[in-house]
Amino acid sequence: MANCYIVGCEDTKQAAVIDPGDDADRILMALAKAELKVEYLINTHGHFDHVGANKRMKEATAGQIAIHPDDEPMLLDLSNHAAMFGLGAENSPPADVRLNDGDTISFGNITFEVIHTPGHSPGGICLYTPGHLFSGDTLFMGSIGRTDLPGGNYDTLISSIKTKLLNLDEKTIVYPGHGPESSIANEKRMNPFLK
């Protein structure tokens, strides 16, 4: 029930898969249909519902796994984390690329700026390119990520959102880790957690 995003460059056909949580076959079929080559498997954070397909996707595409170093240890413990919820998940291979605040990651003609937004998890990140923000489990339409899991902190999450996301252009479309898309303008006006 997590959102996975495929972002591809029309000119070079290079792509990134953001949060391959599950259903690797469906992701691979979409990539094949669009004739895209995966350069990166970008994890906005290390929870199993966002990275559960890392292993199969890496084996199938040779894409590099990228994550913030504070969440990297979670990749090797996905099966235990999923078991806490009565679910199963395959452990991920280790990260190939460690993404820190202010870094950029590029494929084809597309460049994302990495925005470290801890609070839902210690190494939560958002990916920004002008007009578009992939917010993982930091910011949802009318809500925010939960903070009751290990490493979560409500005050830290609210600070991350207010100091790092709400100053983006209000027209920026927000693509969250769960639920429908929104915009920075909508969240400034309507999100009850940000009042």
Structure tokens at 47: 């929870």
The percent of residues in the chain predicted with pLDDT above 90, rounded, is 91
User: CATH no. for residue 101?
Assistant: 3.60.15.10
98 in Cβ contact with 126 (< 8 Å): no
pLDDT computed for residue 1 by the predictor: 82
**Backbone phi, then psi, for 132, in 5-degree steps?**
-140, 130
- For the chain, which ranges sit under pLDDT 50? none
User: Which 3 state secondary structure label does DSSP give 100?
Assistant: coil
pLDDT computed for residue 90 by the predictor: 83
User: Which 3 state secondary structure label does DSSP give 55?
Assistant: helix
Structural domains in the chain (count): 1
Classify 190 in phi/psi space as left (phi over 0), alpha (psi -120 to 50) or beta.
alpha
pLDDT computed for residue 81 by the predictor: 78
Residue pLDDT, tens place only, 31-56: 999 999 999 999 999 998 999 999 99
Domain that holds residue 82: 5-194
User: Which 3 state secondary structure label does DSSP give 110?
Assistant: strand
pLDDT computed for residue 78 by the predictor: 81
What is the distance between the alpha carbons of residues 159 and 92, in angstroms, rounded to a whole number? 30
